[in-house]
């Protein structure tokens, strides 16, 4: 979601009385709704259907060019989206725009100034007008939001994100400990993403007290190689350095810089199900301190959206996680991780995921772990917005 409309020539805003917006918006909404019902009554429109609906019902606020009409024209102060801004528009999935047009702004935690058209436009007409909105962005390089699959707990995604994720891991047995990891992701342009991860561990020490300390910090770069909505597929490549900031003697770090590289792939499947794959290698700079390892991970699940695609998203999934040290005779170690991903905010920019990571092979000394994350897509709005 953009926060500013860079095109609008308006000077810095004067504070407007809060009441004004809803009043104006009711007029504008009524005018828009009235003009929609006129479409049917008049001669068949000369324009293609989506454009005709847009020009009559949406352009008063969103502007004939999709950049948002000026504040003076619309009479309210709320910023309007700029549909020509691909950075914002391409990351949105059709389903979310359909929800907003059908049920109005509040369906996705936006202002009620954005009217609901569910009563005046048929589902098909809403789809047409949303398809027309798509035409405003002219840079096809930006991967489309439909390819942004629900984030698994361990398997990395192919889609580039603007997110902060706080992951917490509780081992069920062994020394009492809590491992936390903050991951910050930032998109750079259409297809790149920077990623920083800071782990932090609290652990019970032998003498009964607790101690805490940071682990190995990771910095990575992701590049989307391929993204195609008609194939429902996206693939990326990531390179990452894990720096030995954690104390090795206290078991918080590997004590050696590790270069990690992996590929990620996301595939939409029929019936709103999906598959996500990640495979790569960990290459310590000094292999006498840590072994080289390979890993591969699969996450598969299904997206269930309440109210015919317009409400909360639930995504049950299961991950299969494999790792093998690249040392002769070392086995492949498997874990299974069933989990439930859910959107918390209406805007869907705050989400949670909860799962149980179960060692499937070589269980000796490996505990079941409860894994949980809270995710905030900061590009889509502040933590307290959009509920
Ligand atoms: C009365 C003015 C008004 C009219 C008419 C209007 N909109 Fe909106 N619309 C808004 C406002 C204001 C927002 C932004 C709300 C916010 O950011 O809180 C918005 C937001 C949206 C969004 C969400 C964009 C995002 O940030 O993800 C979509 C999609 C949208 N409008 C489509 C339409 C379509 C399609 C029509 C015509 C069928 C239409 N709007 C008619 C005012 C209007």
Q: What are phi and psi of 106, to 5 degrees?
A: -60, -20
Residues with Cβ < 8 Å from 30, sequence gap 6 or more?
none
CB-CB neighbours of 350 under 10 Å: 22
> Which three-class secondary structure state does DSSP give residue 251?
coil
In angstroms, what is the span from residue 132 Cα to ligand 1's centroid?
A: 14
The structure tokens 């709320």 sit at 78
Instruction: Tell me if 105 sits within 8 A of 113, measured CB to CB.
Output: yes
User: Could you tell me which CATH number the domain at 20-134 has?
Assistant: 1.10.760
Mind listing the pLDDT tens digit for each residue in 345-384? 999 999 999 999 999 999 988 899 999 999 999 999 999 9
Q: 310: pLDDT confidence band, cut at 50, 70 and 90?
A: confident
pLDDT (0 to 100) of residue 219: 98
Cα–Cα distance, 270 to 274 (Å, whole number): 8
**Integer angstrom CA distances of residue 32 from 116, 133, 211, 361, 375:** 10, 17, 61, 61, 36
CATH number of the structural domain 145-380: 2.40.160.40
- Reported as a single tens digit per residue, the pLDDT across 106-122 is 989 999 999 999 999 99
Residue whose CA is closest, atom 6 of ligand 1?
Answer: 58
> How many angstroms separate the alpha carbon of residue 81 from the centre of ligand 1?
7
CB 220 within 8 A of CB 237: no
Residue 16 has pLDDT above 60, yes or no: no
Q: Please give the sequence-ordered ranges of beta strands (E in DSSP) within the chain, or none if there are none.
A: 163-171, 177-188, 192-204, 210-214, 217-228, 233-243, 258-269, 273-284, 293-302, 304-305, 313-325, 333-343, 350-359, 369-377
The pLDDT tens digits for 219-245 are 999 999 999 999 999 999 999 999 999
CA 147 to chain centre: 10
- Ligand 1 contacts (CB < 6 A) are 1, 25, 28-29, 32, 57-58, 60-62, 78, 80-81, 92, 97, 100-101, 105, 110-111, 113-115, 117, 129, 133
Q: What is the pLDDT of residues 272-296, one digit of tens each?
A: 999 999 999 999 999 888 899 999 9
The answer to whether the beta carbons of residues 263 and 237 sit under 8 Å apart is yes
Give the pLDDT confidence score for residue 89 in this predicted structure.
Answer: 95
Q: In sequence order, what are the residues at sequence separation of 6 or more whose Cβ sits closer than 8 angstroms to the Cβ of residue 9?
A: 70
Domain boundaries of the chain, sorted by first residue: 20-134, 145-380
Compute the distance from residue 33 Cα to the ligand 1 centre, in Å.
13
Distance between CA atoms of residues 78 and 52, nearest Å: 25
Of 45, 317, 30, 10, nearest in space to 157 by CA = 317
Report the chain's terminal Cα–Cα distance, integer Å: 15
Rounded average pLDDT over 163-174: 92
Percentage of residues in the chain with pLDDT exceeding 90? Answer: 73
Q: In the block, which residue shows the tokens 């369906």?
A: 107
Which ligand 1 atom lies nearest to the CA of residue 31?
5
Same fold, 20-134 and 145-380: no
pLDDT band at 330 (very low <50, low <70, confident <90, very high): very high
Ligand 1, atom 24, residue with closest C-alpha: 81
Phi/psi at 130 (5° precision): -65, -40
Specify the pLDDT at position 36: 53
Question: Residue 157, SS3?
Answer: coil
Q: Is 384 exposed, middle or buried (0-12, 13-18, 19+ CB in 10 A)?
A: exposed
Structure tokens of 138?
């002219």
161 CA → ligand 1 middle, Å: 24
Tell me the C-alpha distance between 163 and 152, whole Å: 14
Beta bridge mates, 293:
282, 325
> Residue 17 pLDDT > 80, yes or no?
no
Q: Is the pLDDT of residue 23 over 80?
A: no
């Amino acid at each position: 979601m953009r926060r500013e409309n860079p095109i609008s020539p308006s000077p810095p805003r004067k504070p407007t009385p809060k009441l004004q917006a809803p009043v104006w918006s009711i007029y504008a909404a009524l005018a828009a709704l009235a003009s929609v019902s006129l479409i049917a009554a008049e001669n068949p429109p000369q324009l293609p259907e989506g454009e005709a609906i847009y020009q009559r019902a949406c352009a008063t606020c969103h502007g004939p060019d999709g950049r948002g009409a000026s504040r003076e024209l619309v009479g309210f102060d709320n910023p309007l989206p700029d549909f020509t801004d691909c950075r914002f528009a391409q990351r949105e999935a059709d389903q979310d725009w359909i929800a907003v047009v059908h049920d109005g702004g509040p369906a996705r935690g936006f202002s009620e100034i954005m009217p609901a058209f569910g009563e005046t436009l048929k589902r098909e007409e809403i789809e047409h007008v949303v398809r027309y909105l798509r035409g405003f962005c002219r840079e096809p390089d930006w991967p489309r939001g439909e390819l942004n699959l629900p984030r698994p707990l361990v398997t990395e995604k192919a889609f580039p994100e603007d997110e902060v994720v706080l992951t917490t891991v509780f081992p069920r047995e062994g020394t009492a400990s809590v491992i936390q990891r903050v991951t910050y992701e930032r998109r750079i342009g259409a297809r790149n993403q920077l990623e920083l991860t800071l782990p932090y561990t609290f652990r019970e020490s032998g003498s009964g007290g607790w101690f805490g300390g940071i682990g190995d910090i990771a910095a990575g770069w992701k590049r989307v190689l391929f993204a195609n909505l008609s194939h429902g597929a996206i693939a990326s490549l990531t390179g990452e350095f894990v720096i030995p900031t954690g104390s090795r003697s206290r078991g918080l770090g590997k004590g050696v810089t590790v270069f990690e590289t992996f590929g990620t792939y996301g595939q939409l499947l029929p019936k709103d199900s999906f598959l996500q794959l990640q495979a790569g290698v960990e290459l310590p700079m000094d292999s006498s301190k840590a072994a080289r390892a390979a890993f591969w991970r699969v996450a598969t699940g299904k997206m269930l959206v309440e109210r015919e695609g317009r409400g909360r998203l639930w995504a049950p999934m299961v991950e299969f996680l494999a790792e093998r040290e690249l040392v002769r005779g070392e086995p492949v170690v498997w874990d299974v991780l069933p989990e439930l991903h859910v959107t918390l905010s209406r805007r869907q920019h705050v989400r949670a995921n909860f799962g149980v990571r179960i060692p499937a092979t070589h269980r000796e000394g490996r505990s079941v772990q409860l894994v949980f994350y809270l995710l905030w897509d900061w590009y889509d709005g502040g933590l307290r917005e959009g509920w």
